[in-house]
């Protein structure tokens, strides 16, 4: 078990951020073990055919047998949503001694795999290995994740909106209550169970960084107790991320209101906010808002406010039209 000890100031400094580099590293686990999450099998199938030119031996060696990852490859985001290249530049500046230490710690008690053997050499060899890792990670990011990042980001931002509301309504206890079964908040301490490591980390004024993740299957704190408190956790809404866009309705209804609006109505059997609709349809929230204004004005959708969100649902009139398909 890993425990984060958080004081009042640390809770005040709790913040959320997005990390494309974290997602890149965590996605390697799904490539390595498809049984880890059936939800990501469509993504995995689509990606495997695009990795032929990459050094997959070096890439997959970054994930240890116990699925831990080297801390130097997942630096804390400096801002709310840094770019992948901004984060990778931080990795490129990592000192050789830190690279060597983090690779060994992530793979312990197992020996380093062959593609990482240069980490046991002098600083020049470690530096060359670090740069080679950065190069292959950039290639992998561009092939496997960059095309889908805008849609992934919508999922993650929707999760952060929900979590921020939980924090505002019920404090830390409500914030962590439904984040994951392995998390438990008690008496100023966040307990993370089912961990290989066993240590306590006092935040001591450093706050807590929370990173929602598409590819995390359980909470993932840093491997080293020397790192500032950080928690990567599974995001809500991942189940529909790789779904295909719903097909339009019959030709008559499409001719009447257009295919995009038919797709919207098909999704609105349940109340959904604009950002979630945009994610599922893979368009911008502003485009969805324009269609929703028309559908609401014509009586085909209803809307209701839930906290800071406006939820939309198709109306009884839309039900009758959809039933004719």
Predicted pLDDT at 247: 47
User: Would you say residue 246 lies in a domain?
Assistant: no
Residue 309 and residue 201 share a domain? no
Position 48 confidence tier, pLDDT thresholds 50, 70, 90: confident
Residue 282 and residue 159 share a domain? no
Residue 210 and residue 170 share a domain? yes
Residue 260 and residue 231 share a domain? no
pLDDT in tens, 8-26: 898 888 999 999 999 999 9
Predicted pLDDT at 283: 81
| Range ranked top by mean pLDDT from 32-36, 98-102, 238-242, 264-268 | 98-102
**Which long-range contacts link 36-41 to residues 24+ away (Cβ below 8 Å)?**
36/217, 37/215, 37/217, 39/238, 39/239, 39/241, 39/242, 40/215, 40/242
Predicted pLDDT at 58: 96
User: Residue 285: which domain range?
Assistant: 251-323
Residue 231 and residue 169 share a domain? yes
Residue 273 and residue 125 share a domain? no
Q: How far apart are CA 249 and CA 57, in angstroms?
A: 46
Question: DSSP character for 13?
Answer: T
Residue 300 and residue 191 share a domain? no
Residue 309 and residue 227 share a domain? no
Position 325 confidence tier, pLDDT thresholds 50, 70, 90: low
User: Would you say residue 276 lies in a domain?
Assistant: yes
Decide which of 212, 238, 264 is a domain's last residue.
Answer: 238
Residue 255 and residue 200 share a domain? no
User: Would you say residue 171 lies in a domain?
Assistant: yes
Q: What is the mean pLDDT of the chain?
A: 88
Q: Please report, rounded to a whole number, the percentage of residues in the chain having pLDDT higher than 70.
A: 97
Q: Structure tokens of 146? A: 């960059």
Residue 271 and residue 179 share a domain? no
What CATH number has the domain bearing residue 299?
A: 1.10.10.10
User: Would you say residue 244 lies in a domain?
Assistant: no
pLDDT in tens, 58-76: 999 999 998 999 999 999 9
Q: How far apart are CA 182 and CA 195, in angstroms?
A: 9
Decide which of 238, 259, 280 is a domain's last residue.
Answer: 238
User: Would you say residue 40 lies in a domain?
Assistant: yes
Contacts of 107 (CB under 8 A, 6+ apart): 64, 65, 68, 113, 116
| Mean pLDDT, rounded, for 22-33 | 93
Report which of residues 95 and 170 the model is more confident about: 95
- Strand, coil or helix: 271: coil
| Range ranked top by mean pLDDT from 51-60, 94-103, 220-229 | 94-103
| Mean pLDDT, rounded, for 205-231 | 91
Comparing 119-128, 202-211, 307-316, the range with the smallest average pLDDT is 307-316
Position 103 confidence tier, pLDDT thresholds 50, 70, 90: very high
User: Would you say residue 243 lies in a domain?
Assistant: no
Q: Does residue 224 surpass a pLDDT of 80?
A: yes
Total domain count for the chain?
A: 2
Report which of residues 301 and 239 the model is more confident about: 301
Comparing 194-203, 207-216, 224-233, the range with the smallest average pLDDT is 194-203
Decide which of 180, 205, 238 is a domain's last residue.
Answer: 238
Residue 302 and residue 198 share a domain? no
User: Would you say residue 275 lies in a domain?
Assistant: yes
User: Would you say residue 44 lies in a domain?
Assistant: yes
Find out whether the peptide bond into 109 is cis, omega within 30 degrees of 0. Answer: yes
Residue 129 and residue 150 share a domain? yes
pLDDT in tens, 231-279: 999 998 887 787 654 444 457 777 778 888 888 888 888 788 898 888 8
């Amino acid at each position: 078990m890993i425990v984060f000890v958080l004081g009042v100031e640390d809770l005040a400094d709790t913040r959320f951020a997005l990390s494309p580099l974290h997602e890149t590293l965590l996605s390697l686990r799904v490539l390595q073990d498809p049984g880890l999450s059936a939800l990501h099998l469509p993504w995995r199938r689509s990606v495997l055919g695009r990795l032929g030119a990459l050094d997959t031996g070096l890439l997959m060696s970054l994930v240890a047998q116990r699925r831990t990852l080297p801390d130097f490859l997942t630096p804390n985001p400096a801002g709310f949503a840094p770019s992948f290249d901004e984060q990778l530049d931080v990795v490129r500046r990592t000192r050789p001694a830190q690279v060597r230490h983090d690779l060994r710690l992530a793979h312990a008690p197992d020996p380093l795999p062959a593609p990482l053997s240069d980490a046991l050499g002098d600083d020049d060899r470690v530096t060359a290995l670090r740069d080679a890792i950065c190069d292959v990670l950039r290639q992998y990011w561009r092939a496997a994740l960059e095309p889908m990042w805008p849609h992934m980001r919508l999922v993650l931002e929707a999760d952060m909106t929900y979590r921020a509301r939980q924090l505002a309504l019920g404090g830390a206890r409500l914030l962590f209550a439904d984040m994951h079964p392995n998390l438990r908040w008690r008496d100023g301490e966040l307990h993370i169970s089912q961990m290989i490591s066993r240590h306590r980390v006092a935040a001591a004024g450093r706050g807590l960084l929370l990173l929602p993740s598409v590819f995390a299957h359980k909470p993932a704190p840093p491997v080293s107790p020397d790192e500032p408190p950080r928690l990567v956790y599974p995001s809500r809404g991942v189940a529909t991320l790789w779904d295909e866009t719903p097909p339009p309705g019959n030709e008559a209804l499409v001719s009447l209101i257009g295919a995009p609006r038919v797709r919207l109505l098909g999704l609105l059997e349940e109340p959904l906010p604009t950002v979630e609709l945009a994610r599922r349809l893979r368009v911008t929230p502003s485009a969805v808002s324009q269609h929703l204004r028309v559908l609401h004005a014509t009586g085909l959708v209803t809307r209701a406010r839930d906290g800071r969100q406006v939820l939309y649902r198709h109306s009884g009139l839309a039900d009758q039209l959809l039933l004719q398909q």
